[in-house]
Amino acid sequence: MIIRKIDSIRESDRTVDTPNWSSSRLLLKKDNMGFSFHETLVRAGTETKIWYKNHLEAVYCIEGIGEIEDLETGLTHQIVPGVMYALDKHERHILRGKTNMRMICVFNPPCIGTETHDKEGAYPLLEVENS
Ligand code: 9YT
């Protein structure tokens, strides 16, 4: 069994910090669960264009208000606590934080630890565990 507290990883190499968001990765590939499990804090007033072409992601909002614009359909969905979205078709999207938001995110295949968005808004498929 794995027990891990968010406070113990916020200042560690399991946390990736960017101007728009910070992601603390509670479970990574090396934890051998078949997925990675993150707490993502999205900052108020930010807009992030994302395309997880190599991953599936499910996101569950537990705090804050924002929206996701699906660039495949042109539809925009409000994100509030209790709303989940799943990018089951690798949809390109824009995530906007109206307030600070706290989201729980699951990635398949699992992240290995250091991934941050490339110029397409994607994470590469990394093979080597480096954290
Ligand atoms: C919601 C979202 O995709 N934000 C970017 C960070 C990502 N969730 C992560 O790596 O935890």
Q: Which CATH number does the domain housing residue 70 bear?
A: 2.60.120.10
- Whether 130 is in a domain gets the answer no
Q: Which of 114, 63, 60 shows the shortest CA–CA distance to 87? A: 60
Distances (CA, A) of 109 to 10, 17, 68, 113, 125: 22, 21, 22, 12, 8
The residue contributing the CA closest to ligand 1 atom 9 is: 23
Q: Which atom of ligand 1 is nearest to the CA of 42?
A: 4
Name the residue range of residue 94's domain. Answer: 23-108
The pLDDT of residue 131 is 42
The pLDDT of residue 130 is 46
Domains of the chain: total: 1
- Ligand 1 mean position, distance from CA 23 (Å): 6
The pLDDT of residue 128 is 56
Which of 40, 52, 117, 123 most suits a substitution to test ligand 1, by most atoms within 8 Å of the C-beta? 40
The pLDDT of residue 125 is 83
- Whether 123 is in a domain gets the answer no
Query: Which ranges of the chain have pLDDT less than 50?
Result: 130-131
- Whether 30 is in a domain gets the answer yes
